[in-house]
Structure 1
Amino acid sequence: MRIAVPREIKNNENRVALTPAGAKEFVKNGHEVFIQRSAGEGSGFSDAAYQYAGAEILPTIEATYETGEMIMKVKEPIAPEYDLIREDQLIFTYFHFASHEPLTKAMINSKAVCLAYETVEKQDRSLPLLVPMSEVAGRMAVQKGANYLEKPLGGRGILLGGVPGTLPAKVLILGGGIVGTQAAWMAAGLGADVTIMDVSLPRMRYLSDVMPKNVKTMMSNEYNIRNFLPSVDLIIGAVLIPGAKAPHLITKDMLREMVPGTVLVDVAVDQGGCIETCQPTTHENPTYTIEGVLHYCVANMPGAVPYTSTLALTNATLPYALELARTGWQEACIRFPELKSGLNIIRGDVVYEAVANTFDLPYVPVSYYLNHIS
């Protein structure tokens, strides 16, 4: 198979979908790899490194899309890429369709096969291709939150861990999954007073057992959230419903209950955000303020640490990508049920129910394609 990796063109997205080591594995297995010129430079991987691994360098994004049977990316295609995607081409990337209707309709019109990293789901409900970036984003959320709590950047002027004789900052984390857990570890390590809210008692029992003493758990509901808001300094939104829009746990009217200079970091922004006032921002212009509350809603947070992120992502995606290349997407999705759940759009049909429901689109069960079309 011909695997092609375009350079990411989303604002300040420096990651790349494949490392030179990953390219070498494809070549060893008899596949052809094509990398757009300078696609890996933002992550610290030179064109020469890819060529040494056996990949061919292509001069333009147009040539890259034209050549590849499978396109591997990090972020969803953006408008300039829509017309480059062709029928039956396999696109393997993060899509987050439920938060972006124009992208969804563009991929329907392209009649490509869209396999989304974020909905690849194992039988135990874990999300193996979302986990590495969730780990990065959860840890970064605390770094960024601590930074923006500084007065010159718009925050209250609070040191996250405090010092002897002063209280540490209060951190509220909405969601006890991978992002929330990683954020809690980081915030606790810096000495903050941390509370995780979740709706799962078994998950909260687990977190209570493994977290340090400065991390507490509480049932997530509107009453508890509202009671917390007047005293909290940093809120991290870490709620995920695979393939669907995140629920709004903090509404616009709740902002008035917070002290001016409170910082909100919504890691769920890719799925529409769990804070109603969340709007996607970029690393170039990462924040805005509403009702005196500073919002940090960068949609590609791990792109700020591209070397770490690219290595972590390739470690997770490469085994699946090799199987897709070896057997084709249909056979691979039959052999690996978690890949089957990653299929969102096939040849113009929406085959992921949560996406169809979000935009009131016709839904076609993915089994139709795996059982009836060769």
Structure 2
Amino acid sequence: MVALSLGRGPLVPSVTAAVIVGVAGILTARHLRSRRACAGPPDRRRLGVVLTLLLAAALQVVVAGAEARSEAGPVAELASERAFVRVTGQVMAEPRRLRRTEAGPARVAVVLRVQRVEARGVRTAVETPVLLLGDADRLRVGWRVVVEVTGRLAPADAGEQVRAVLTTRSTPTVVTGPGWLVAAADRARAAMREAVGGLPEDPKGLVPGMVIGDRDGLPEDLADAMTATGMSHLTAVSGTNCSLVGAAVLWVCAGLGVPRRWRPLAGGLALAGFVVLVRPDPSVIRAAVMGGIGLLGILRSRRSLGMPALAGAVLILLAIDPWLARSYGFALSVLATVGLLVFARPWADALRRRVPRPGFAAEALAIPLAAQVTCAPVVVLLQGRSASSGSSPTRSPRRWWCR
């Protein structure tokens, strides 16, 4: 529902939220009447439906607010007029190199949340996402950096997150740095690239992608081959990486004798640092938030928090960034986690009864099978889109951020 409401302006999600609240109100009134007619325990299923509807309405309100903020200001009008502007904005995602379609310099795409736009002598404060396109040798900007750049605006595709496309031939001016934490992560990423600098071209681009999600150096032919064979997920840092980091930190804390109540804090700090290092891709932030909720469960000595943690992670992340609802990476990550939580254990038990030895064989088969089955519908859809238009970020500069 969130995905369908995005890109339609603030009116559609506002009306949707009102309708959902009305339905929830009707169900609540019926529940209260039935409680008065016959005394008894409350109907938890009906209460659960009402709570679900209220949460859905709250997400629609969030979408309406995000749409209103993005549409406010003159950016869309200036883009329709293809005006020449000067903008100041923050880099919201790691720059991505685009595929070369003709002779000339390599180009990159950057998602920029514009904070101020100046055109025809008028300066306006806005909060509008814009896709910035430019030459790779000039457009060298880092994540979370605030830059000032001039260029010509053009309309974006209807229904997309960005509201305009800004093409520039100038070098952006850095207004504000990324902060000490992101700067430290940038140094670590640069050290990783330097460490593999002596390797052949393919492993030199592949290793940073597999370890920290840095795909900037991945050769185009290798990226195409991985996409065609369904192996592009190898260069996407996933929930498995977050789980390993969190488990390693908890294991070290236990070995050092850290009190139990302080271990979730250490795990949460480690997850936050890891997300900054690898950049907050949809699967990474989903896994990190879910891990944080799980750590709170550890603090309260509760077990079996898998599904509640996943549901809480999805709600929190959609409230923070509703556009995750249109992310293939986010959908695949959530579906894979659902498969592991729901099917992995019973399927492993069933396999263990038929193949008793070795003991780990059942888990080794059940875990990837459960994740693959639940992800299959989205994978088929994604492969169909890849066959028709290409799923590589280098092929579609206006749509790569939703992969």
Asked whether the two chains share a fold, i.e. TM above 0.5, the reply is no
TM-score, scaled to structure 2: 0.22
As a proportion of its length, which structure holds more helix?
Answer: 2
Q: Which structure is richer in relative contact order (CA contacts within 8 A, separation 6 or more)?
A: 1
